[in-house]
Amino acid sequence: MINQRFPYAKEIIETVIENAYVWIVIVDADGNIIYMNDNYCRFCEVTKEEVIGKHVTEVIENTRMHIVVKNGEEEIADLQYIRGNYMIANRIPIIADGKVVGAFGTVMFRDTKEWSEMNSHVRHHLSSIQSFIEQQDDTGAKYTLNDIHSKSAIMSGLKEKVKSIAATDSSVLIRGESGTGKELFAHSIHLLSHRSDKPFVKVNCGAIPEHLLESELFGYEDGAFTGAKKGGKKGKFQQANGGTIFLDEIGDMSLQMQVKLLRVLQEKEVEPVGSTKTIPLDVRVITATNRPLEELMKANDFRSDLYYRISVIPLFIPSLRERKEDLEVLVRQFIKKVSIRTGKRISMIHEDVMDTFYHYHWQGNIRELENVIEAAIHLAKSDLITLDSIPDYIKQSTIYHSKSESALTLKEMLNDAEKEILLNMIQKYKGDKKGAAKALGISKSSMYEKIQKFGLQ
């Protein structure tokens, strides 16, 4: 048919094959090469004469052509590592008279120059995309109230309060234990406000070294200090101009930085490091902390004037212990989320596990629950999460808390209560025993005596 219509069929086919936007190789039923186009030969640094008749594994690195010939199964868009590069390979069995007589393989890109140009092009765009994602992570709000899963009355009331708060420009101080989801509420407030189309910039004040925090928040001029970026850099407040800045872990900020922050909030302007000019600001400020700021103020570790400036509207996020009605909703959500991420399908959770969860203290709150669910999904032997799948410390703690009070003497109960209070306070202050002692109203020496008594080192 082809020969009748096109007298130069052979030449047409050869031209198409040699200039196709792919490298081509054909093997026989034994995996020996019977054809390889010029571009593929050049890439592999061989000639057609050298490769014809050779087994494909002797010529092409990491090939699976001989496997396709054996099993008769095609492989489409497979990543193949050839001569230092990952490429996209297709391998298709050739079938005649009902049996596999060979295989046809292609690899994208016609020559090394083309591959190099495409690779450079892709890497450039990936770099641009990565920079955009990082910028969005810093200057974009991601969570709404719909991302805060709950059914308890206390959370419903809190969400309604958030809607009212969002309508104002007043500063908000979000309080709550670690892992309660304070950041989600900050995002939600911004996205419900009239500033929702403007930047949302988050800063973890406890994660940035003290000597870098000032330039990170307020920016700096060219040559402001050794190692400064040429041309200077905008600080987080400038990046947030017109929108919202979220200062997380505000309770970890030093007194020196508190003074500088207070000035920015009072004057509504920022002076970059190394500059004598001020930049006017229009920024809503949301802060968050898990630390007892009132106790820190008594200890002169947190400025009262800054406290009143940032806490015009206080928002308290309840611990998971105070909203255990939400456990079922949260567990279901985390199972779905982790199952999608890990590719492991979990459809059920045993009622004994839920009962254990209801009796557990959840010191790490929602963050701890999500981690426990992830561990349980990895350890589950079927699509059902059982007690065998959850961490031992959860089960042991539940057994401890479920002991009958009648089985303990008053002295034992008091010791247990004191030990738990000390442990919780040490965790709350991230191991800072001096801070924990101050919060408990006891001396540092008494604190260490109790730590030794209960073996809490």
Three-state SS at 45 = coil
What is the reported pLDDT for 241? 95
pLDDT of residue 438: 86
Hey, where are the domains in the chain? 10-108, 140-316, 321-401, 408-454
DSSP string for residues in 194-216? TTTTS-EEEEETTTS-HHHHHHH
For 325-375, write each residue's pLDDT tens digit.
999 999 999 998 898 888 887 878 999 999 999 999 999 999 999 999 999
DSSP string for 263-304:
HHHHHTEE--BT-S--EE---EEEEEESS-HHHHHHTTSS-H
The percentage of residues in the chain with a pLDDT greater than 70, rounded to a whole number, is 82
Asked if residues 456 and 423 have their Cβ atoms less than 8 Å apart, the reply is: yes
Out of 3.40.50.300, 3.40.50.720, 3.40.640.10, 3.30.300.30, the CATH code matching 140-316 is 3.40.50.300
> What amino acid is encoded at 49 in this protein?
E
pTM of the predicted model over 0.85: no
State mean pLDDT over 253-278.
93
Residue pair 74/65 in contact by the 8 Å Cβ criterion: no
CATH number corresponding to 321-401: 1.10.8.60
| Residue-level pLDDT at 202 | 95
Q: Which amino acid is at 167?
A: A
Could you identify the residue written with the tokens 């109960």?
413
Average pLDDT over residues 195-199: 94
CA distances from 23 to 40, 44, 107, 213 (A): 5, 11, 5, 54
Confidence of residue 396 (pLDDT cuts 50, 70, 90): confident
Q: Are 283 and 242 in contact (CB under 8 A)?
A: yes
Top pLDDT among 139 and 31 is at 31
Stretch 414-430: mean pLDDT: 77
pLDDT category at 224 given cuts 50, 70, 90 is low
Q: Is 353 exposed, middle or buried (0-12, 13-18, 19+ CB in 10 A)?
A: buried
Strand pairing class (384-385; 348-349)? parallel
Count of beta carbons in the 10 Å neighbourhood of residue 324: 16
Q: Residue with structure tokens 């304070």? A: 182
Domain 408-454 has CATH 3.40.50: no
Give the β-pairing of 284-289 and 172-175.
parallel
Report whether 31 contacts 102 (CB < 8 A): no
Q: Are β-strands 269-270 and 244-248 bridged in parallel, bridged antiparallel, or unpaired?
A: unpaired
Dihedral angle computed from the Cα positions of residues 149, 151, 154 and 158, in that order, rounded to the nearest 10 degrees:
40
CATH class of the region 10-108: alpha beta
Q: Is the pLDDT of residue 152 over 80?
A: yes
Q: Of the candidates 187, 321, 304, which has an alpha carbon nearest to the alpha carbon of residue 248? A: 187
What SS3 state is found at 339? Answer: helix
pLDDT for the residue numbered 2: 46
What is the reported pLDDT for 126? 64
* 161 has a pLDDT exceeding 90: yes
Q: For the segment 106-131, what is each residue's pLDDT rounded down to a tens digit?
A: 987 544 555 566 667 666 666 656 65
Task: Quote the mean pLDDT of the chain.
Answer: 85
Question: For residue 451, what pLDDT is reported?
Answer: 76
CB 321 within 8 A of CB 281: no
140-316 matches 321-401 in fold:
no
